[in-house]
Amino acid sequence: MSGGQPEAKIGRRGIAVAALLLTASALALLRPAPAFSQETELRGEVSESAILADQQRKARQLRAQGAQDQNSPAAAAVQDTASTTYQPASPGAVPDDDQTAGATDSIFDQPQATGDPPADTATPVKPRRPSTAKQRAQDAKAGTKTADKKKAKKKTGEATDSTTTAATAGTGNRTDATATDDDNSNRRAVTIDSVDKQKLDPGQERTASIEGQKVKPEDDPFAAPGVKVGTFLFRPSLEQGFTATSNADSSSTGKSAVLSETALRFTATSDWRENSALITGYGLFRNTVSGEKINDAQGRIEGQLNVDLDNELRAIAKLGYEAAPESASSPDAIAGVTSQPLRQTVDGSLGIEKSVGKMRYALTGAVSHDFYGDAELSNGTTVSQKDRDSTLYTATLRTGYEISPALTPFTEVEAGRRIYDLRVDTDGFERSSTRLGARAGLELDMGEKLSGEFSVGWLREAIDDNRLRAVAGPSIDADLKWSPERGTIIGLTGKTSVETTTTANESGDILYSGRLTGERQIRANLTANSALGLDWRDYTGSDGHDMILSAEAGLTWWLNRYAGVTTRVRTEKLTSNLPGRDYTTNSVYLGLKVQR
């Protein structure tokens, strides 16, 4: 036969082997692969016969490769296409299973990653470093002795991975084989047991139950929880107790008595997303248990609505109603009556606030109407008080400049008109008047530490009747709250008001009222409070004046969140340069307070 005939045979065999490889690759691609595959080792002990069979296969493969290296250059070219082509001893021979293409791997080698997902989507696994072709050749020559050494090094439940890299005849194939072997040398095998022992992601660890976590304590565990009524949180309280006093009606002729006192108070706060509303009220009822006869009631209810408008505008509306008997120490009190006339007040206001840069503007209009009931004399007759009914209209403009978020100085002007229902009273005087005022002050906003405002100025009411002097004098107003430490609140309030009168030839007076209050939470269930008061009344048209000093201290001991025992002591003294006005009142109160 000619020299070209073996090349033809070899070409036909190469074509057959290539077709077989393409068919196997197509079948491998059609085989479904899991979305996320993971390479794991065999578990359990490997038998000695399996190790020997594996070494024998490797030896046969090496001998076949050595025979191929000695063939003609044409055979070497064919081997470049299929590096593990089977060389039959006779035409038509069928290769053994362990000699077919793709059977060069050991039973202990890692399976091929054909069809596996990309490395960035699969869990990274570190296989063991595989041996090179040179090391496998040395192991084959060592024979059974090397196999025994490997068996001694194996641990129960582990298996050894080895990836076979076929040696090629060409220089380029050797370079590729070396690069592949270097990549595989960085891999480490991971057993199933070691995977199970890997540390969990902290985000996947099981957290403790809610009940086991530490709960933040309440700031005020004895505060009223309140009752939900629609969109308002309603907090009512009821206080019932007894007062022993040395002067039941706080007058110069007052006598001692034991009084039953009942006080109702409530607050209702809105739960709205943008705007807010607040409603407050109280009622106090006193009845004599023994001593001087006292039977009176007083109370007030007030509501406030805050609405945020467009263009940095804010509206504040207030509406209130108050009813209380005329005080026996009032300059207009009527002597020789069984009960003083009932004074009722309806008041309301509407204000608009606007901010322009650091400038602050506010315009407020207010209306207050006072009307009085009849006074009951001891002889059974009544005295009408209709000539005291009046309405006060005022408008106030405030301008401020924000130096800082905590400090805003301001100036304020006020103009108003007081109109009596009766143009001329029973004594023939025109009591209506014109009101003017000006003040300068400072707003403070330091959070819970210090907040509020104070102002000083001048206030004047000119009466229409020329025979009566105008009521005028300095004006001092304040409303401050200071918290030097947590659980302690100190408050300072001051107010200047004009008191009118229908007494003949008298214009009225200016009353300055100041209160210094303190509240201290000694313990979570024990609260102490105190108050100091100073009132100064300056009569217009004379040198007459009144000074009233008062002091009060009390304790409230909460039995639980809903009930507590409260007590207080109080003293009040009025000193005047006018005759028949001095008095002193001392009292002690003990009661039970419940809240919700």
pLDDT value of position 16: 59
pLDDT of residue 265: 96
Inter-residue long-range contacts of 224-230, CB under 8 Å, 24+ positions, other chains counted = 224/561, 224/562, 224/595, 224/596, 225/561, 225/596, 226/596, 227/596, 229/268
Burial degree of 479 (CB within 10 A; 0-12, 13-18, 19+): middle
Mean pLDDT of 460-482: 95
- Under the banding of pLDDT at 50, 70 and 90, the label for residue 396 is very high
Tell me which residue has tokens 């505008």.
313
Residue 49 has pLDDT above 50, yes or no: yes
218 or 202, which is more confident: 218
269, 238 Cβ separation under 8 angstroms: no
| Confidence check: pLDDT of 81 > 60 | no
The string of DSSP letters for 294-327 reads: -EEEEEEEEEEEEEE-STTEEEEEEEEEEEEEPP
Closest to 371 (Cα-Cα) out of 345, 406, 332: 345
The span from the CA of 25 to the CA of 6, in Å, is: 28
Mean pLDDT, the chain, integer? 78
Cα separation of 280 and 232, whole Å?
Answer: 12
pLDDT digits (tens, 9 = 90+) for 528-566: 999 999 999 999 988 999 999 999 999 999 999 999 999
Residues contacting 121, CB < 8 A, separation 6+: 36
How many Cβ atoms sit within 10 Å of the Cβ of residue 224? 18
Report the amino acid identity of residue 466.
Answer: N
Element (H, E) at 436: strand 433-445
pLDDT band for position 311 (cuts 50, 70, 90): confident
CA distance 428 to 430: 7
Q: Which residue has the tokens 């002690």?
A: 588
Confidence of residue 331 (pLDDT cuts 50, 70, 90): confident
Min mean pLDDT across 33-47, 298-312, 487-501, 582-596 is at 33-47
Is residue 493 within 8 Å of 483, Cβ to Cβ?
Answer: no
The pLDDT-based confidence of 480 (bands split at 50, 70, 90) is very high
Query: Residues 227-245: pLDDT tens digits?
Result: 999 999 999 999 999 999 9
Class of residue 439 by CB neighbours under 10 A (exposed 0-12, middle 13-18, buried 19+): buried
Q: What is the mean pLDDT of residues 201-217?
A: 59
Q: What is the mean pLDDT of residues 74-93?
A: 48
Sheet containing 375-377: which strands, arranged edge to edge?
Answer: 337-339, 375-377, 382-383
Q: Which residues pair with 274 in a beta bridge?
A: none
pLDDT in tens, 492-523: 999 999 999 988 889 999 999 999 999 999 99
How large is the average pLDDT for residues 459-482? 95
Q: Does the structure show a pLDDT above 80 at 251?
A: yes
Q: How do residues 289-300 score in pLDDT, each as one tens digit? A: 999 888 899 999
Which pLDDT value is given to residue 75? Answer: 45
Coil/strand/helix, residue 423: coil
Q: Is the pLDDT of residue 11 over 60?
A: no
Reported as a pLDDT band with limits 50, 70 and 90, residue 440 is: very high
Joined tokens for residue 212: 């086991």
C-alpha pair distances (Å), 146 with each of 27, 328, 386, 387: 38, 120, 126, 127
Q: What is the mean pLDDT of residues 114-125?
A: 44
